[in-house]
Structure formats: structure tokens, C-alpha cells
Amino acid sequence: MTMAQSCDESWRLAMVVPFQGPAGMFGASCEAVTELAVAELNATSGVGGRPVTVELIDGGAKPEAVAARIRDLIREQRIDAVTGWHISSVRLAIARETAGKLPYVYTSLYEGGEDRVGVVCLGETPSMQIAPALKWLRKQAGLRRWLVVGDDYVWPRLSCAAIRSQSQDLGISIIGEHFVPYGGGRIRHLVDLAERSNCDGVLMLLVGQHAVDFNREFARRGLSARIARYSPLMEETMLLASGAGATENLYVSASYFRSLRTDEAMDLVSAYTRLHGSSAPPLNNMAESCYEGIRFLADAATRTRSTKAERIIENTVQASYAGPRGTVNFNEGKAVQPIHLAMASGHDFDIIATL
């Protein structure tokens, strides 16, 4: 799907977001916020004096299919940069096509370790997001024994391994790790394991609809009162889909929540609502990250005073930038940002700490 027709004079961006699979529920919000970012840029000078056009690519397809689409667009010289929210398996496939050729800004939380030329990751990593949250929950809520449930791909697997390696320092124990095929379900089996366990909390490394299904079944069995849940990947759309009755005793950490009350965050909500109205898809962490990905690339082109790929790549690692999630600093090329801990409250989040 093309949001605007490409032309020789335009700066052409591939926006990779999911429209199918467990993460497909995020696609509408990501598309809507992309329209906002593009409208804002084109209301001024675009990028480097060139109007911005966007090629929307379904990041919920198989990784090899997404990568093939990017490869074709690069070969045909139809895109100048790539960004978007999608799972790490898709990122790994795309990065093999873009590395050293085009700037690629990956906006999702991820497992860390990405260091290819021209690939910039703006999202949260386990050591910055999950570990501090589990430490806070141990100290403040006494949650020590954790059962890990997740989808079976790179982000849940490596995130779990990172937390397991830090468990002694965090003062927690991982009493079990269970993964189900991404897109394949078996969510009731995971709830069975939680129900039979003696854990204090369930660390959910489930994506989109899988997490929603887990929440619903967890609540249906009345487990929320005695077992806490914590997720680093849970946002407003997922709360709405889970239902207010399925979000009791659910903690989430992230760099952005729609309920943030910083000036930049509230400005984004206002601009989003003005453009799309009150019936727009919920603004959430995934969509906000796409907004930052676009603005990050535009800022890199402005600093470079060029829209040439190699020049933008040279300027994609910078000291810091400010956006709706706050100030993001770069330490040896890795994004360091504020992380907030929230508790689900119906269909929204109450922020209870900054980690």
C-alpha cells in the first residue's frame, strides 16, 4: 500500500509495520501516526527540501517475504530509507538487505546486539527495561519467583536469557521458561502452566493478540488476584482488546505511554487527535515509536544537509534528541531513554514509577 505516489523529487520512506499475525492489531495506529508525521514534515520543507512519500509494507508477513520486498525496492531505487515497528525476526531479515546501503531505523523494543552499518535501534532493551522493572517489583511488591511465557522467536528467547543471567543480582528466580510458536497459539497451555506453578508473577514475552488471549484466559480462571503479570510489550490497544476485567494486577514498563504528561507527549496526542479525530486508532507505544523513527531520519538529513543515503547513515548516531518519550541519549550507538513502570487501570495505564 502506498500512502502517496512516489516521484523523482520525493524523499521515499519504507514504513514496515504489521497488518497481520499476532502483531497485526498495531498496524492501524502505526499507519495513522505515519500520516501525521508525513503531514507535519510536508507542511514545512519535507526532508531536505523534498516532499516525503511513504510505502507501507506489511511487516506481519514472513521475514523472508518482507526482506524480499525491501530488496526489490532498493534494487529499483524506489526508497531512500526504512523504518517501522515489527518483530526482531523481521528486523534481522531487513538489515541484511539495507546494511551499508540505506539508513534503517528500527523503532521497536528489542533484545539488543544490533550493530550493522546504517541500522539504528531506538527501542528499549532488556537491561534498561525489564531488569529495572523486576527489581522494582521485588522491592516494592515482594515478587521474587517468576514464570516466563513467550512467543518462540529471537526477542523473547534472548530477553529471557538476559534476565536469567541477571536474576541473582536482581534478587529474583526464574522458576520456568515456556515458549509457543509465534502465530501458532497454544495460549491455554501457558495459562495451565501458570495456574499449576507456585510463581509470584508471570513475565509475559508475548506479542499482540497472543498476550490478549493470555490475559483473557488468565482472568477467566480467576488467577489475577494471586499471581501478578508483568509485560514489557503491552499497550492501550491490547488493554482494550483484553477487556477491563482482564487487566487486574498487570504491570508494564515502557518508554512511552499515552498517559505521559510531558509537554512533547501531550503535543503528540493533540496533533494526532486534530488530524484523525476522537475515533482514531489508539495512540500507543508502537505508533509513537514510528513517529520518532520518521522524525529521527528527517533530523539526520537536516543535520547532514543532504538526502543521500551514505550521508544520512553517517549522521544517524548522535549524542541525543528530544521527542514525545523524553530525551534519548546514545551511548556507543545504543539508545538510552527514560523507562516508566505503569499499572493497568481498565483500558489505560497509571504510571507509578520512573525506573
CATH of domain 11-124+261-324: 3.40.50.2300
**Ramachandran angles phi, psi of 149, nearest 5°:** -130, 140
Q: What CA–CA distance (Å, rounded) separates 290 from 272?
A: 13
pTM as predicted: 0.93
Q: What CA–CA distance (Å, rounded) separates 340 from 260?
A: 9
Say what the pLDDT of residue 5 is.
Answer: 40
DSSP state letter for 220: H
SS3 305: coil
Q: What CA–CA distance (Å, rounded) separates 280 from 147?
A: 36
Say what the pLDDT of residue 6 is.
Answer: 42
Using alpha carbons, select from 90, 72, 92 the residue that is nearest to residue 26. 90
Q: What CA–CA distance (Å, rounded) separates 324 from 33?
A: 13
Q: Do the two domains 11-124+261-324 and 126-254+340-354 of this chain adopt the same fold?
A: yes
Per-block mean pLDDT, blocks of 10 residues, the chain (355 long): 54 97 97 98 92 97 98 95 97 95 95 90 96 98 98 98 97 97 90 96 97 97 96 95 95 95 93 94 95 91 71 66 89 86 93 95
Q: What CA–CA distance (Å, rounded) separates 91 from 119?
A: 10
- Residue boundaries of the structural domains of the chain: 11-124+261-324, 126-254+340-354
Say what the pLDDT of residue 2 is.
Answer: 44
Around Cβ 248, how many Cβ atoms within 10 Å?
Answer: 18
SS3 95: helix
Using alpha carbons, select from 122, 341, 326 the residue that is nearest to residue 234. 341
Q: What CA–CA distance (Å, rounded) separates 145 from 138?
A: 9
Answer yes or no: are the C-beta atoms of 45 and 11 closer than 8 Å: no
Q: What CA–CA distance (Å, rounded) separates 257 from 324?
A: 10
Beta bridge partners of 119: 104
The C-alpha cell 520456568 sits at 176
Using alpha carbons, select from 314, 354, 307 the residue that is nearest to residue 333. 314
**Ramachandran angles phi, psi of 202, nearest 5°:** -110, 120
pLDDT (tens digit, 9 = 90+) per residue, 83-104?
A: 999 999 999 999 999 988 999 9
CATH of domain 126-254+340-354: 3.40.50.2300
| Structural element, H or E, at residue 148 | strand 145-151
